[in-house]
Amino acid sequence: MTHALVTTDNLVEILDEFVDRVSAAEHAVALSPDGLLLAVSRGVDGELAEQLSSVVAGLQALSLAAARYAGPGGVRQVIVQMHEAFLFVTATRGGAILAVRFAGDTEVDAMAYEVAVAACQANLHLPTFPVPADDLTGG
């Protein structure tokens, strides 16, 4: 199993409590902006953690690139709707990425709110990542 880079018990507890509290949530992962695994909720094995890290980092990078062309405001969340699940991806204020998989029969608005709250809580236990120079200059 892949071990998290940041192993604070509080961060893992936050992810586990989130998955336990929000019934439609199946699992959650926290990543650095470049896709390094920081923490996972229970039930995420090493193979799944590696796959999610790659996919989520790619989604986040694509959404940030698309936002440059879409106008001001930036990206709040990326939501991928599949036949039987949703994947929510959001960045914390410190630049880390939080991804949560939900069952497909969930209320999207409620889950978007829950992910935003979880990102705020997780941010307290994550390192702050520097902002790339391109993001500062808008290029």
What integer pLDDT is reported at residue 131 of this predicted model?
A: 62
Task: Give residue 71's pLDDT.
Answer: 75
Main-chain phi, psi angles of 101, to 5 degrees: -100, 130
User: Residue 4's pLDDT is what?
Assistant: 45
Domain ranges in the chain are 9-137
Q: For 46-99, how does the pLDDT look when each residue is reduced to its tens digit (9 = 90+)?
A: 999 999 999 999 999 899 888 888 877 778 889 999 999 999 999 888 888 999
Q: What is the CATH number of domain 9-137?
A: 3.30.450.30
Residues 6+ apart with CB under 8 A from 6: 30, 38, 39, 125, 126, 127
**Taking 60 as the threshold, does the pLDDT of residue 1 lie above it?**
no
For residue 114, what are its two tokens?
């829950």
What pLDDT was estimated at residue 9?
A: 67
Beta strand extents in 1-139 (DSSP E only): 25-31, 37-40, 77-81, 85-91, 97-103
Q: Give the model's pLDDT for residue 64.
A: 86
| Residue 72, pLDDT score | 75
Tokens of 39: 């923490």
Residue 18 CA to residue 27 CA, distance in Å, equals: 9
Is the pLDDT assigned to residue 132 strictly greater than 90? no
- Is pLDDT at 26 greater than 90 in this prediction? yes
The pTM assigned to this predicted structure is: 0.82
Are the C-beta atoms of residues 126 and 11 closer than 8 Å to each other? yes
